[in-house]
Amino acid sequence: MNGKTIFVTGAAGFIGSNLVKRLFLDVKDATIVGIDNMNDYYDVSLKEYRLKQLEQQAGETAWHFVKGDIADKSLIDSLFEQYRPQVVVNLAAQAGVRYSITNPDAYIQSNLIGFYNILEACRHWPVEHLVYASSSSVYGTNKKVPYSTDDKVDNPVSLYAATKKSNELMAHAYSKLYNIPTTGLRFFTVYGPAGRPDMAYFGFTNKLRRGETIQIFNYGNCMRDFTYVDDIVEGVVRIMQGAPEKRQGDDGLPLPPYAVYNIGNNQPENLLTFVDILQQELVSAGVLPPDYDFEAHKELVPMQPGDVPTTYADTAALERDYGFKPSTSLRDGLRAFAQWYAKFYGK
C-alpha cells in the first residue's frame, strides 16, 4: 500500500481511528483521506479525542480529514474525483442492535444509502479494493457454531443485521457487474480502549462507577466472541493488501472478485466470566475501590429483542488466506481498557 491513496470512512470511529493510526505507522508515502459525520449517537468528545490523536500521530503521512456524511452523494463523488483513492475501507455505519429498533431511519441513511454511494463512487472512479464492515449480527439465531461464512444468513433478527447483510448483497452485485474487488468483514464484538460507550463493557463500567446496577441479559447465559480492537485492525490491514483476484468464468464473463471473512477471537466467553474479569481489572486500575460490592450492583434479566445468545467465529478462512488468527486474551484486552479508562475519566 506504499505510495497509495487510502480512503477510510468512519475515521473518527473506534475501529476507523485505530486503523488510520496503524496505517500511519505501516504505510510509506501514503495519502490517507478520512471522513466521519461526528454524529451524537454516543459522546462526541470521544470522537474528538480520537481525531486529536490522529492529528498528533500523522507524522509525515498526508492526512486529510473531512467532516461529512457518506449519505451525501455529491460529497462522496467530489472526494473520489479529487483524491482518486486506490483502496477504500468503509467502516462508517450506524451501529448497534437495540438502537435500530428505536431509530431505524439512521440505519437506512448510513448503512444502505451511504454504502450505495460508496459503491457508485468505486464504480465511476475504479478502485483496486473496497473493504467494508459487515457484522456477526448477520448470523442471527444460527444454531450451528462456530459461525462460518459458508452458513446461510437469511434470517436477521434486527434491522441492523438486515442492513449489514444487504451490504454484502450489494457488494456482490457491484463486484459482478463492474468487476470491483470487494471484501466484507464480519466483526465479532469489538472492544478496547476508547471504544464505543454503547457496548456492554463500557456501559457496565460507567454504571458501576456511578454506583448503578448493571443488567446482564439472558440471565448471564450469553456467549460472546470478544475481539480486541488491535486484532481487528491487524486483520483489516492484511485483507486490504489481498484483493480478491479478477478472473474470467467459463462463459467468458468476469467472475465476481468478492469475498467475506469472519474476524473474531474464535473463543467465545460467558458474559458472567467477562463481567468478573472486567470488575477485577477496574479495581486493579483504580477505577473502582477494592471493597466494591459487585453482587449488589448486578441484576440478571431476560434477553432483549434483537439480541442473540451466542456469537462464535469460524476463522479458518482468515487463517488459510492471510495467516492470521486473533489471539489477544480477554484479560489482556480488558486490562488495557481499564487502564485507558482510568486515565481518560480519572480514578
Annotated catalytic residue 160: yes
User: What's the longest Cα–Cα distance across the chain?
Assistant: 70
DSSP string, 266-279: S--EEHHHHHHHHH
CA pair distance 79, 328, nearest whole angstrom: 36
CA distance 148 to 154: 14
Selecting among 160, 261, 322, 341, the annotated active-site residue is 160
Does 146 sit behind a cis peptide bond, omega within 30 degrees of 0 on the bond before it?
Answer: yes
Task: Give the bridge partners for 314, in sequence order.
Answer: none
Number of H helices and E strands in the chain, helices first, is 12, 15
The DSSP line for 250-271 is TTSSEEP-EEEEEES-S--EEH
Which residues lie closer than 8 Å to 337 by C-beta, 6 or more apart?
A: 191, 192, 193, 195, 201, 202, 205, 281
Place of cell 447465559: 221
Q: Which three cell numbers stand for residue 307?
A: 439480541
CA distance 121 to 125: 6
Residues 6+ apart with CB under 8 A from 123: 174, 178, 180
> Of 229, 203, 156, 232, nearest to 42 (Cα)?
203
Which grid cell sits at 124?
A: 465511476
* Residue 213: DSSP 8-state: P
What are the residue numbers of the active site? 160
